[in-house]
Every structure is written in C-alpha cells, then in structure tokens.
C-alpha cells in the first residue's frame, strides 16, 4: 500500500529535475543488472525507489518508505544474486517496469503508477516470502490457513 501511495503521489508531484534523476538512476540500475553485481543491483534499485519517494513529497509516508526500502534492499540481495539464473527473467521484467514508472510519472498518470507499484511489488514478493519462511513451513507466517490450524 505504501509503494502504491508513494507512486501515485510521485506522478502527481514530480518535477522535471526529479524525473531526470530517476532516468539517471534507471541507467545505473540497468547497468548493474547487465554486469551482475548483486550489491549494486540492490542498491541501485533502492536509489530508484528512493527518488520516487522524494517525488511524492509526503512527510508522513516517506519515513515508512525508507524503512521498507532498508528491509527490501537487504532481502533483495537473494533476488539480485546472479547465481540465481532462474530469476534473470524477473530481473529483466523489473528493469522494464522501472522504465514504465518513468513513463507514467512523466505523464502524471497517478493511477497507472499506483497499479504498476503493486505489480512491481508482486515480482519480488514471492522471493521475499521464500526468504523469510523457515524451512519446512508450508505457508508464510501469518497466512489465513496457518492461523486456522493453530485454533
């Protein structure tokens, strides 16, 4: 929800200088994806989304976004690891979605940016759940089915 709200606000409030910074960050993100450095991939993704947060210009949501980006960056080290070749298509899709963010924000398409934020989150959500779910646990912690089994 925070990513979607931030993206919506970014499309409403972005100024040309911020859009240029976002485009520059995207060039670095694509370079990191091509060259395969795990840390640079994760950090350039964080920079891209942090710029979107600055565009949103919302003092209430920005601290929450910063906290999310810290955890997402740490956990995404698995997603961006070049040894996980099976995720190469996902990484390419993430880079393409970054281009779409730029287009939507530049066009001031707030709803499109919010919808894309949800789709973009879904790309890494499964990997994050796999990372935080202990071995042997069938479902993510806090899921509806695991809560029913506990009662």
> How many percent of the chain have pLDDT more than 90?
58
Closest among 121, 25, 47, 35 to 80, alpha carbons compared: 35
For 37-60, what is each residue's pLDDT tens digit?
889 999 999 999 999 999 999 999
**Which residues make Cβ contacts (< 8 Å) with residue 104, sequence separation at least 6?**
7, 11, 112, 113, 116
For 96-117, what is each residue's pLDDT tens digit?
999 999 999 999 999 999 999 9
What whole-number distance in Å separates Cα of residue 27 and Cα of residue 25? 5
> How many percent of the chain have pLDDT more than 70?
82
Domains, in order of start, for the chain: 2-150 (1.20.120.530)
- Angle, helices 38-56 vs 61-79, to 10°: value is 160
Closest among 99, 97, 98, 86 to 126, alpha carbons compared: 86
Tokens for 73, please give them.
């960056």
Contact 140, 133 (CB under 8 A): yes
The average pLDDT across 61-72 equals 92
């Amino acid at each position: 929800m925070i990513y979607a709200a931030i993206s919506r606000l970014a499309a409403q409030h972005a100024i040309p200088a911020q859009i240029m910074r976002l485009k520059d960050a995207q060039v670095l993100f694509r370079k990191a994806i091509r060259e395969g450095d795990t840390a640079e991939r994760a950090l350039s993704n964080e920079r891209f989304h942090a710029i979107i947060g600055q565009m949103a210009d919302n003092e209430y949501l920005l601290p929450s976004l910063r906290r999310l980006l810290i955890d997402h960056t740490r956990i995404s080290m698995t997603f961006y690891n070049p040894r996980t070749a099976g995720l190469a298509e996902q990484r390419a899709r993430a880079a393409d979605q970054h281009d779409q963010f730029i287009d939507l924000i530049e066009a001031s398409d707030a709803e499109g940016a919010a919808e894309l934020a949800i789709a973009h989150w879904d790309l890494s959500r499964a990997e994050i759940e796999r990372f935080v779910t202990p071995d042997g646990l069938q479902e993510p912690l806090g899921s509806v089915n695991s809560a029913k089994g506990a009662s």
